[in-house]
Amino acid sequence: MREILRQSNIDLLREINRLKSVVYSASVLPELVTYQAQILITCEMLRRQGQQNLRDLDLNRDELLPDILSETQRLASWFRLYNERFAGPILRSLPSDQLCLRIIAWLHDHHPETHRVPAALSDGGFGIWPEPQFPIVYIMPFSRQRGLLYLPLFFHEFGHLLYVCHEAKMDELVYELQKSIADLLESTPQQDDLSAQEGAKRRRAIAVTWYLWTQEIFCDAVGFAIGGPCFAYAFSMYLRTSGRDAFYLPRSQLEFSHHPVTWLRIHFLADQVRRAGWPKEAEKLENEWSKIAATMGVTEEYHGFYEDRFMPLIRKTIDDMLTVASPWEFLDEDVAPSEWDPQSSSPVHLLNTAWRMYLQDPASYDSWEEQAISAFLESHGK
């Protein structure tokens, strides 16, 4: 066993050194330099762990072998994570990443919890790896990285990072909401012919499901708080063609699901838009989704996982969560129809302008966008 472990640790050390060397030699954009340094520090930490395992093997104590095996396995999976996931954003780095990286850096710099926290970009479906102990990676589909219109969706992903930064308080607020929903359901006589036990089980499942649903609705609220209308446009446009399951899911798929049905998220988003002073935009947003639903013959039904009487409870919880997380909020000038100024306007103003330009005249949008991206990169590079 000792020899097996020695071989494995020597092999891991060789691979760690190779990764370290490749990451070190990579020529990266200035926005990725801190992230690159973070990966190199971890590679060094992994290398030291491998050497410690070899020193522990040299003690020739059989009773330590299970511990050294576990440490070797831990090292191997840690290394895999860096080799397969976190090194990618450096080694795949392209000049075109600069647009996304500048937006992400601006986002991180405008919040005390994430100020100077390095982050990188990877390819794939929208997502984030938000554990502050790891390098932060934002994930976005290829073509969406190249334009302005879908960048506001990073603001939703940033919400997940804010949740983790304030996890204990957030969990407490979500727990209160879950209890309130459970109490509300408990106080209502059972409508269908479920046994008392089955009814209690179902009520519990609904309350539990709201743990993850609340986090998603909170992230949508963070997205709107930061981006304003551009977030609502991006969110709706990106998701409204994703298919029937954006509008309806059977009860069995709703139970313990990770995301609420998107149509429900649209209602919460519209509620936020309305409360921010844009009733017409909120109505338009909901109407568009209703039209698509009607075309598919879908009737709104959440099988008890959402009822209108939940709305005030959820709204209050989300408002409290926003107070705790305190994201940067868009300013009047960020949503004003005034021309975006590369020297003085925020990126949020740029993204709102992009949506206004696109909705006004999609045909001439691409040439405007190209110039706007150049101006943005030039001004934010100084």
- Contact residues for another protein (CB under 8 A)? 56, 59, 61, 63-64, 66-68, 70-71, 73-74, 77-78, 80-81, 84-85, 124-131, 133-134, 139, 156-157, 160, 164, 171-172, 174-176, 178-179, 182, 201, 204-205, 207-208, 211-212, 216, 256, 258-259
Total residues found in the chain within this entry? 382
Tokens coding 341: 């100024």
Q: Which residues on adjacent β-strands are paired with residue 127?
A: 139
Q: Which is nearer to another protein, 71 or 334 (CB)?
A: 71
How far apart (Å, rounded) are the C-alpha atoms in residues 239 and 124? 15
Q: Contact at 8 Å (CB) between 2 and 65? A: yes
Copy the structure tokens of residue 105.
């850096």
Closer to another protein by Cβ: residue 66 or 243: 66
State the Cα–Cα distance between residues 96 and 71, nearest whole angstrom: 39
CB of 49 to another protein, least distance (A): 9
- Pick 306 or 365: Cβ nearer another protein: 306
Closest approach of another protein to the CB of residue 332, in Å? 29
Q: From the CB of 214, what's the least distance to another protein, in Å?
A: 10
Question: Which residue number, 264 or 373, has a Cβ lying nearer to another protein?
Answer: 264
Nearer to another protein, 205 or 375 (CB): 205
Report, in Å, the least distance between residue 342 CB and another protein: 31
CB of 64 to another protein, least distance (A): 6
Give 131 or 319: the residue with its C-beta nearer to another protein.
131
- Minimum Å gap between C-beta 308 and another protein is 22
DSSP string, 207-268: HHHHHHHHHHHHHHHHHHHHHTHHHHHHHHHHHTTS-GGGT---HHHHTT-SS--HHHHHHH
Sheet containing 127-129: give its strands across.
119-123, 136-140, 127-129
Cα–Cα distance for residue pair 108/100, rounded to 1 Å: 12
Please tell me the distance from the alpha carbon of residue 373 to that of residue 360, in angstroms, as a whole number.
Answer: 19
Nearer CB in complex with another protein: 151/207: 207
- Residue number with CB closer to another protein (98 or 215): 215
In whole angstroms, how close is the CB of 220 to another protein at the nearest point? 10
CB of 171 to another protein, least distance (A): 5
Query: Which of helix, strand or coil describes residue 342?
Result: coil
Alpha carbons within 13 angstroms on the beta-carbon side of residue 328 total 19
Can you list the pairs that 15-19 forms with residues at least 24 positions away whose Cβ atoms lie under 8 Å? 15/79, 15/83, 16/43, 16/46, 16/47, 16/50, 16/79, 17/47, 19/43, 19/79, 19/82, 19/83, 19/87
Q: How far is the CB of 168 from another protein (least distance, A)?
A: 10
Instruction: Give whichever of 83 and 345 is closer to another protein, judged by the CB atom.
Output: 83
How does DSSP classify residue 194?
-
